[in-house]
Amino acid sequence: MQPLPLSSIAVTHPPAKLNLFLELIGKRNDGYHDIDTVMVAIDWRDQLRVQQTETAGVQLSVQWMPSLQIIADELGVDPESERGQSLLGIPDDSRNLVHQALTRFAARFGLTTGFSCHLAKSIPAGAGMGGASSDAASALLCAATLSGVPHDHPDLAVLAAELGSDIPFFLGNSLTPWTAARAQGRGERLTPVTLSTQLNTVVLFPPQSLSTAKIYSESSISDVPQLADTFVEALETGDLTSITSHMCNRLQEPASKIAPQIDEMLKSMWHHGLRGCQLTGSGSACFGLAESPIRASRLASQLRSQYSAIKQRGDGSHADRQTLPTARVVAANSVLVPAGIQVE
């Protein structure tokens, strides 16, 4: 593969993930846990545009889609407040995983050129939805496309695993694109899982980010950890009752101790008729499954009006937004990873 001209722009839409099954197998000496998890990619996506630059280095700009104010309103936070900034402030420097991915890519492949990159965020951060990881995997694939590196180059998988445990899932496998995969080890050992049916999910993100490291540090390992084999078999049947009866997430308990809104949110999701409601990853987002895409969007709009920051009281006045629970609510279907890359 030849490098593309510097004028080329690689564009892609990194998807979020949900953990349908997550068990802790053991604590390792390197500070990580061995896990057994099954992840599915969904069509709640960011957007990433990457272009090569003549000079070395990475320039990154970040914005919220459709706008910071609209997302802040959905969550009922002031974007200028400390709380708003901790929830919605996305770094545009070397703390951003996209920046790290492009910097390491350039070093690994000995590039003399650099990258300029625009990231439009929609996936909540600190939600357990792998947004930053997905952005980083997409950045590696965009950089590879622009510099003429094949997507199945083994160094890409090495870089992905070095950057974070969830990133190999989002990098995918150019030979076997997957919707769902089982991830073991610390998350980097992947096996594609057959999903016989599209999953229709409704995802709720409360206005509280959770730190993955903190949730793992508060977790405990069962005396008899359950492996994902039975769940994978259920997923392969495509039968929703069988799938939901084997779902679990061992990180839900520590996450809901730190963020009690999680339990309230899950209760309300069950009450509305969603199935298999649970936390994704290390939270704070929760999701449930619906029987069809139409039912998922109907339940999402009911939940959205319940969690809307601005509500009317019976007397027509606005209720106090600070005292009401709020959340972003999105209906999303399962999709393939890796996401395709278009060149403009």
List phi, psi (to 5°) of 118.
-120, 125
List phi, psi (to 5°) of 21.
-145, 135
Q: Which of residues 177-236 bind ligand ATP (CB under 6 A)?
A: 212
Question: Looking at 33-41, 62-70, 285-293, 308-316, which segment touches ligand CDM (CB under 6 A)?
Answer: 33-41
Q: Which residues fall within 8 angstroms of residue 223, CB to CB, at 6 or more apart?
A: none
**Number of residues in the chain:** 344
Q: Is 59 an interacting residue with respect to ligand ATP (CB under 6 A)?
A: no
Minimum CB separation of residue 22 from ligand ATP in Å reads 10
- Amino acid (one-letter) located at 91: P
Minimum CB separation of residue 34 from ligand CDM in Å reads 7
* Rounded Cα gap, residues 242 and 248, in angstroms: 13
**Is the CB of residue 120 less than 8 Å from the CB of residue 46?**
yes
Nearest to ligand ATP by Cβ — which residue? 132
Q: Is 24 an interacting residue with respect to ligand ATP (CB under 6 A)?
A: no
* Among 52, 122, 133, 138, interactor with ligand ATP by CB under 6 A: 133
Minimum CB separation of residue 310 from ligand ATP in Å reads 26
Pick between residue 208 and residue 282 the one whose CB is nearest to ligand ATP.
282
* Rounded Cα gap, residues 280 and 130, in angstroms: 9
Q: Which of residues 199-228 bind ligand CDM (CB under 6 A)?
A: 212-213, 216
Q: Is 6 an interacting residue with respect to ligand CDM (CB under 6 A)?
A: no
* Rounded Cα gap, residues 120 and 47, in angstroms: 5
x-or-dash string of contact with ligand CDM, 269-308, rule CB under 6 A: ------------xx--------------------------
Question: Looking at 25-33, 67-75, 93-101, 292-300, which segment touches ligand ATP (CB under 6 A)?
Answer: 93-101
* Among 14, 16, 20, 33, interactor with ligand CDM by CB under 6 A: 33
Q: Which residues fall within 8 angstroms of residue 239, CB to CB, at 6 or more apart?
A: none
Q: Say whether 78 is catalytic.
A: no
User: What Å distances lie between residue 163 and 10, 135, 228, 308, CA to CA?
Assistant: 21, 12, 25, 36
x-or-dash string of contact with ligand ATP, 156-175, rule CB under 6 A: ----------x---------
CA atoms within 13 A on the CB side of 199: 34
* Among 23, 46, 74, 166, interactor with ligand CDM by CB under 6 A: 166
Q: Which does 91 bind (CB under 5 to 8 A by kind): ligand CDM, ligand ATP, none?
A: ligand ATP
180 is in an annotated binding site: no
Q: Is 19 an interacting residue with respect to ligand CDM (CB under 6 A)?
A: yes
Using DSSP's 3-state secondary structure scheme, residue 334 falls into strand
For every residue of 147-207, DSSP letters joined together read: HT--TT-HHHHHHHHHH-TTHHHHH--SSS-BSEEEEETTTTEEEEE--SS--EEEEEE-S
Residue ranges for the known binding site are 124-134
**Interaction site with ligand ATP (CB under 6 A):** 90-91, 95-98, 119, 125-133, 135, 166, 212, 281-282
The residues carrying an active-site annotation are 17, 166
